[in-house]
Amino acid sequence: MRTIGKSTVRRAWWTGACLVLLSVLMVPVQGVRAQGKGDDKLKTGIDYFNAGDFENAIKVYSEIAAEKSFDRPVRREAFLGLGRAYFAKNNKEKAKSALSEMLDLEPPLVELNPDEEAPPLLKLYYKVRQEKAGNMQVERADPGIKTIAILDFKNSSVDDRERFMPMEMGFSELMINQLRGAVQLKVVERERIAWLMNEIGLENTPGKFDVNSAVRVGKQLGVNAVVLGSFIKFKGDMWLGARLVKVETGEILATDDVKGDADAFFDLVEKLSAKVAKAVNVNITEAQLEKGVETKSLDAMMSYSEGLVLVERGDYDGAYKKFNEALEKDPSYEKAHLKAESIKPLLRS
């Protein structure tokens, strides 16, 4: 007869205990999945919206939003869908009301992805968020995380000045994407900065940005620091520079620059981003920086940047063509795809 040792008994007991504990921990997860009522209906609404059938999308989203037995995340998505559909039908008042009801279902904080939302809808979201906060700030400060805003870069190029004008937006977008990989750093999206400047009557022109305007924007955004960038294209070289302004005092925390081959400007932005992160005492690895680069094609980046310029001018048809042009040059350019999809409901035809 085989004798069972104490160690074997202990192992069996521990294994059993772990299985019991695991089954207990699994209950809430299974419960949440089981309570996902409305998911199928939500998918139907999304399908209607993507097909351009905004009337039926509104009908389905409205039914979901009104059903209080559905999970909050599902109802939040329904209200967002309503906002999108109403905006696509040019009913801004109802779109605003839907976004307001979506925010009423917080927490958790509802933050829209600027790459996935139509720019006018984003502006309306910021407006509603501001009104609910009772002040101009739409950024919620986290005491454990540093927050910075990167303003558009000033183009001081000697050569190819007109060709590189769209990169005033392109370079800031690149740096924002790269710095988002830092764990202890939050970077405000370009769209929110542009909206705020319009709200406070500050011209969104890089050549007119100075320390005072940076501090003003930074205080309204509730950020710790603001980056003022500039670039010069001369012959085959590119120079990128950045000044980091401390919002609280207006002092220049750091002034950094990088220089190299113009065709390798992705690497130059990475180096400058690393210096900016270091200036605010945030560590960021090369892998994290690299993750923020969605294309290595200069032509694709130029087309994408031209699309950003057209979006801000309200030329959505032209912007849509530019984003698709960027995709033709680099089919893996996911950000260009998202931007194109986000403005589809705003196209004239």
Strands 146-150 and 252-261: unpaired
Position 264 confidence tier, pLDDT thresholds 50, 70, 90 = confident
Average pLDDT over residues 67-84: 92
CATH architecture of residue range(s) 146-293? 3-Layer(aba) Sandwich (3.40)
Residue 157 pLDDT greater than 50, yes or no: yes
- Which of 48-57, 193-202, 217-226 shows the lowest per-residue confidence on average (mean pLDDT)? 193-202
Q: Which residue from 313, 205, 161 is spatially nearest to 322, judged by alpha carbons?
A: 313
Average pLDDT over residues 214-224: 90
Position 97 confidence tier, pLDDT thresholds 50, 70, 90 = very high
The domain spans of the chain are 39-133, 146-293
* pTM (two decimals): 0.80
Is the backbone peptide bond immediately before 108 cis, with ω within 30 degrees of 0? yes
pLDDT of 28 reads 33
pLDDT of 294 reads 87
pLDDT per residue as tens digits for the range 287-330: 888 888 888 898 999 999 999 999 989 999 999 999 999 999 99
Share the mean pLDDT of the chain. Answer: 84
Residue 9 pLDDT greater than 60, yes or no: no
Which structure tokens are listed for 311? 């979006």
DSSP per-residue string spanning 183-238: TTEEEE-HHHHHHHHHHTT----GGG--HHHHHHHHHHHT-SEEEEEEEEEETTEE
Asked if residue 224 lies in contact with residue 247, where contact means CB atoms within 8 angstroms, the answer is: yes
- Phi, psi angles (nearest 5°) of residue 155: -90, 110
pLDDT of 3 reads 40
Q: Which residues pair with 239 in a beta bridge?
A: 232, 259
End-to-end CA distance of the chain: 84
pLDDT of 139 reads 55
pLDDT of 349 reads 54
Position 111 confidence tier, pLDDT thresholds 50, 70, 90 = confident
Residue 48 pLDDT greater than 90, yes or no: yes
Q: Which DSSP state fits 248? A: T
From the candidate CATH numbers 1.25.40.10, 3.90.190.20, 1.20.140.10, 2.40.50.140, the one assigned to the domain spanning 39-133:
1.25.40.10
141: how many CB neighbours lie within 10 A of its CB? 14
189: how many CB neighbours lie within 10 A of its CB? 20
pLDDT of 228 reads 95
Ranges of beta strands (E only) in 91-184 are 146-150, 154-155
pLDDT of 15 reads 42
Rounded to whole angstroms, the maximal C-alpha distance in the chain is 92
Distance, C-alpha 13 to centroid of its chain: 49
Average pLDDT over residues 119-144: 76
pLDDT of 141 reads 55
Average pLDDT over residues 26-49: 64
Residue 195 pLDDT greater than 70, yes or no: yes
Strands 237-246 and 154-155: unpaired
